[in-house]
Amino acid sequence: MRKIVLYIIVVIVLIIGAGIIYFTKMGNPFGKDDSDFAIDEINKVTKIVLTSEQGKVELIKLPEGWQVNKRFMARESSVEFLLQVLSRLKIKSPVSDEKFSKETKTLTKNVVFIEVFEQLRRVKSFSLYKVNSNSYGNYARKREGTNPYVLYIPGFNKPIGSLFVTEEKFWKPYIIFNYQPGMIKAVKMDYPDSPEKSFRIVKTGDNRYKLLQNGKEVPVFDTLAIERYLSYFRNIRFVRWELGIDSAETDSVISTTPEFILTVTDKTGNHNTIKTYSMLVSLVDRKNMLTASHNEVFVKQNDEKELSVARYFDLDPVIKEIKYFFAKGK
C-alpha cells in the first residue's frame, strides 16, 4: 500500500513539474524578452566564429585585444559593435517552414553560421540567412530542422544580415599610413594631371633632407615644413572597405587617372603606395547627373584587390603640393 501511495506521489510531482515547464515556455516561447538568440554577458565571451562560403573569421580574445584568425589584431570598434549586436538580438516573429524552405532552398552564399564561446564552452550557435524578403534582412534558426525566425535589434533599422561579415579584411584596422617621422626614409607625391605640383622628399641624415622636382633638387626649401609634413603620417585612416562593388566596377574605377599617387618608403626600404580615384555621386534632385564627391575618395593601397573609401578630411594633412615646402620669401 505504501509503495502505491509513493508511486502516486511521484507521478503527481512529475506531472506538476512538466506542467510548470510547459506553461513557462508558453509564457516565454522565445526565451526571456524574446532574446533566445542573444548572448547574456558580453564580458564573458572569449571567442566568436563566423563561417560562410566566402570565408571564416575566428575572433579570439587576448589580453591585448581581439585577434583575427591568429594572424593580426582586429579593429576594436568592429568587435565591440558585433558584441553589442549579439547581446541585443531579439526575435521579431516566427517564420513558416514552407516560406523558409522556399526562400532558402537555393541560398548558400548568404548563409552565416555563428558560434559564440565562453572559454571552451559554446554558449550560442545559429545559422543566419541573409534574405531580401523582409526589412530585417534575415531568417535565423538554431540548427537543421528547428523553427526559423526573423531577428531584429530594437532601434536599429538596417538589415541584421549585413552585420555578420566573413571577409577577413573587414576586421583589419582601417590604417593607410602610421609612421613616426623617424621611420620615414622618403615620400613621393605624384599628381598625374598636374606634374608641376609633384615632389619627392628624401632623408639624407639627421634633420637633413633633399627636395626634388622632376628628378632635380630644389636648392632652397623650408626644412621645418618638411619635418612638419613627415609628422602628419601618423594614424591616417580610411572609413570602410568598398566591398559592395564587383571586380568589373573596381576595374572601371582604377582605369581612370588617379587624383594623386602617394608613396612612403620606410627606413627598411619597404614601400607603401596609395592611388586615389574620384568617387562619383548624384547631384541633389538630379539623379541622372554625376559629379565628383567633395567628401570621399576611392583608395587603392599597394596590391589590394578591393578599394577602400577615405574622407578628404582624413587625408588632407598629407595632401600637399611642392610649393608647401618652398622657403618663405624665396
Q: Are residues 195 and 155 in the same domain?
A: no
Instruction: Tell me whether strands 175-177 and 236-237 are parallel, antiparallel or unpaired.
Output: antiparallel
Residue 301 inside a domain? The answer is yes
C-beta of residue 49 within 8 angstroms of C-beta of residue 115: yes
Position 83 pLDDT exceeds 50: yes
- Summarised one tens digit per residue, pLDDT across range 171-213 is 989 999 999 999 999 999 999 999 999 999 999 998 899 999 9
For 53, 171, 319, the CA distances from 160, given in Å and listed in that order, are: 18, 18, 38
Instruction: Enumerate the H helices of 112-246 as residue ranges.
Output: 223-230
For residue range 125-175, what is the model confidence (pLDDT) as tens digits?
999 999 888 888 899 999 888 899 999 999 888 888 888 999 998 898 999
Residues 321 and 205 in one domain: yes
Per residue in 84-133, pLDDT (tens digit) is 999 999 999 999 988 998 888 877 778 999 999 999 999 999 999 998 88
Instruction: Judge whether 123 and 155 are in contact, CB under 8 Å.
Output: no
| Domain match, 165 and 91 both | yes
Instruction: Kindly state whether residues 126 and 179 are assigned to the same domain.
Output: no
In this prediction, residue 105 carries a pLDDT of 80
Specify if 330 maps to a domain: no
> Has residue 18 been placed in a domain?
no
Bridge-partner residues for 51, per DSSP? Answer: 56, 113
Q: How many domains does the chain have?
A: 2
Residue after which a domain boundary falls, among 123, 155, 171: 171
The answer to whether 177 and 318 are in contact (CB under 8 A) is yes
Shared domain check, 209 and 89: no
Based on the fold, state whether residues 50 and 151 are members of the same structural domain: yes
Query: Which among 163, 167, 166 has a CA at the least distance from the CA of 152?
Result: 163
Distance CA 160, CA 54 (A): 18
Same-domain pairing of 308 and 181: yes
Q: Which domain holds residue 252?
A: 175-325
| 180, part of any domain | yes
CA dihedral 233, 236, 242, 248 (to 10 degrees): -10
